[in-house]
Structure 1
Amino acid sequence: MEFIDSILASDNYAFIGFILIGVFILWFLPAMLALAFNRKHFKYILLACIPAGFSLIAWGGVLVWATTGKAIGKYANKANSETET
């Protein structure tokens, strides 16, 4: 805690800004990944990132949700095509 207090008490605003940008990127990492992997649910994932950032378990769940979008659809389509033949 003393380390955080010393950073906030210093006049190194560039470092504080860098830390805040890093936290913002990590907080919304699932939403950024959803743009590539699960674009269909991007809005919901973006909204879920806001409260999920307070819990590592919830944030991990949103991260899994963001990265498994196309994989689930791909395997579901593959299973449907195999059962039709």
Structure 2
Amino acid sequence: MEQIERKVTKIGNSFGITLPPELLRQVGLAQGDDVQIEVKDGKIILRKKEQLELPDGVDAEFMDILNDVIKEHDKAFKGLVDR
């Protein structure tokens, strides 16, 4: 795997890292795509957010809220399965 070094840059009140176009092409990302960011074992993992086909009447905001609730209460849900 090719290793690239970048500097963290201030963007408004936030910080960012620029990514070269060839790197984005390699992973199938383009400007405007949504990404998921995870911190695991002191590393930042960035992946393209998969777009799901939602049934009629279910909007993306509802699914985002549902996913947040599931993540927040994951331990409790798993505990219920073990009962």
TM-score normalised by the chain length of structure 1: 0.29
Larger Cα Rg: Structure 1 or Structure 2?
1
Greater fraction of residues in helix: 1
Higher RCO structure (Cα 8 Å, ≥6 apart): 1
Q: 1 or 2, which has the higher strand percentage? A: 2
